[in-house]
Every structure is written in C-alpha cells, then in structure tokens.
Amino acid sequence: MAHAVLPVESRANLGIMLVLASQLVLLVLDVSAKWLSVEGLPTSEIVSVRYGMHLILLLLLFLPVSGSRLFVSNNWKLEVLRGMCLLATTGLNFLAMRYLPLTVTSAIQFTSPLMICAMSGPLLGDKVGWRRWMAIGVGFLGILVIVRPGTEAFQPAALLSLGCAFFLALFSIMTRKLAGVDTAQTQQFYAGATPVILLLPIAFTDWAWPSQPISWLAFFIMGAAGLGGHYLNSVAHRFASPAILAPFSYLSLVYLSLASWLIFQQPPDQWFILGVCIIVSSGLFIWLRERALAKAESAVEVGER
C-alpha cells in the first residue's frame, strides 16, 4: 500500500522559499565534495559515498515509520530515470570541481534554467511567457560574463559543467512530473538507491580513505546534505513549476562564491561579481512578477464570489 500523496498546489512563494533553503543545504554538499577532490580522493569514490550515506540515512529515518510503503512508487520507471539523471549531474559536477573553482562550475550549471524553459513546454505543458524568457535570457548573459567563452579564462573542463546543467534540467522536470505522484520520501529513496546500484561495480576499484579529521567530517556529511537538500527541492516542486523555481537557484552562486573565497582561497573576480548581480536581478524580476500575478488571480477569484 503506497503513501497518500499530497496534491500539487500553486503556491509559488512557498516553493521559492523551499528552493532557497535547499540551496543552503546543498552548499555543504558541494564544499565537502570539493574538499575531498582537493585531497585527491577518486571521483567515483566521492560520488559513491555521497549516495551511500544518502541511502543509509534515508532508511534509518523513514523505514521505521513508513515500512515497505517507502519503496512503492506509482511511476517507478520515471523514478529510476530521474535517479540516473541525478547520478550524471553529480558525477559530472564532482569531476569538474577537480579542475575549476566552485564559482565557475556552479555558474555554468545555471544554463539549466534555459534548458528547463525549452523543455518544460513539450514535457510539462507549462506556458512560459516572453517576460520570463527575457528575464532568464538576462540571467544567461550574466553567466556568459562569468565564464567568458573564447578567452583565456575559459577552460575545456567547463564542458563537464555544461553536461551537468543538461542532466540537472532533466532532473528538475522529472521532479515536477513526480510531484503529486510519489511522496518526497519515496522520491528520495529512488534518488539514492538508483545511483548506489549503478555505482557498485566501480565503487571500490580505487578506494582511498581520508587522511585528515576534517576530511572524515566531509566524508560523512555529504550524504546528509544531499538528502536534506534534495528533499526540500522535491517538496518545492509540489508548489511551483521548474520554470518558476529554476532562476532562484542562481542565488546559490552567492553562497558558493563566499565558500570558495573563505575555504579554498579562490576569491571571485570583478567579472564574477558583475555576472552575479545580473543573474540575481533576473531572479528577483521573476519573483516580483509571480507575486503580481498571484495577487491579480486572487483579486479575480474574490470578485467572482
């Protein structure tokens, strides 16, 4: 018997708040992964630990309460496909971190809102108006300012982050499709179990244990941060579409730039600061417009009563 699944609701502001919270939690995941990459642990091991801890914590927290219902999906094929997209996103991102600062890898990933807008029409049936396209296009210009393709600042490893952005877009769309279909707990089970099963053949081929106490901490908290961040993200997609939520993920660039500066001594340059200002402005425009539309709809409903 499956869980009672809460229905999809149109509450954009709540969805946006949950996405912003998830970005703070996922910051811990990215910093931990970058730290372990700098120490020299293999990417396959870092990804395996990230999802192994995710799955163990999920089972400890939810299996005693949910029992076998945790494993019951109303669309298990889509859940597995979503888990594969998340694995591709994480693997490409962690590999890119070996060669690029956190600020650059995250900035390139945020081409995903454009991809989401391009795909959410045919895949979700969402209507993306010209104003939202314009705001997301402005955000993309901010990314180009940061990455500066065609200059010496651009590195081939950036293509790994671009691939990460593509799979992240697919993951976001599938998360929205599963909202109201499976519970957030079940979604997180498949998001952890699918990568663990796929990684088993290579997980221990080049294993190396952390050498510093702080690295052990990073080793174990990756899974908790990944589980918490993606759980919040799954809930957020019950309240708003990816086209609305995606631009607010841009704000994680601010979090990551501070972490890159304070922890890895890779401060943002003036181009990054300019690009972030452009990106944040585009996200705020969409937020203000969604608030105005929500108020207009509420006024119409009140007038019809």
Residue 182, strand partner residues: 179
pLDDT of residue 1: 45
- What does the alpha-carbon distance between residue 18 and residue 237 come to, in Å, rounded to a whole number? 9
pLDDT of residue 2: 47
- What does the alpha-carbon distance between residue 226 and residue 258 come to, in Å, rounded to a whole number? 20
Q: What angle do CA 216, 220, 222 make, to 5 degrees?
A: 120
- What does the alpha-carbon distance between residue 68 and residue 3 come to, in Å, rounded to a whole number? 10
pLDDT of residue 224: 85
CA count, 13 A, side-chain hemisphere, 27: 21
pLDDT of residue 4: 55
Contact 113, 249 (CB under 8 A): yes
Closest CA to 251 of 13, 11, 14, 19: 19
List of the chain residues with pLDDT < 50: 1-2
pLDDT of residue 281: 82
DSSP characters over 197-240: HHHTTTTTTT-----SHHHHHHHHHHHHHHHHHHHHHHHHTTTS
Q: What angle do CA 229, 48, 55 make, to 5 degrees?
A: 50
- What does the alpha-carbon distance between residue 245 and residue 241 come to, in Å, rounded to a whole number? 6
- What does the alpha-carbon distance between residue 230 and residue 50 come to, in Å, rounded to a whole number? 12
Amino acid at 301: E
Q: pTM to 2 decimals?
A: 0.75
- What does the alpha-carbon distance between residue 78 and residue 179 come to, in Å, rounded to a whole number? 12
pLDDT of residue 245: 77
Closest CA to 239 of 14, 5, 3: 14
Reduced to 3 states, what is the DSSP secondary structure of residue 182? Answer: strand
- What does the alpha-carbon distance between residue 64 and residue 70 come to, in Å, rounded to a whole number? 10
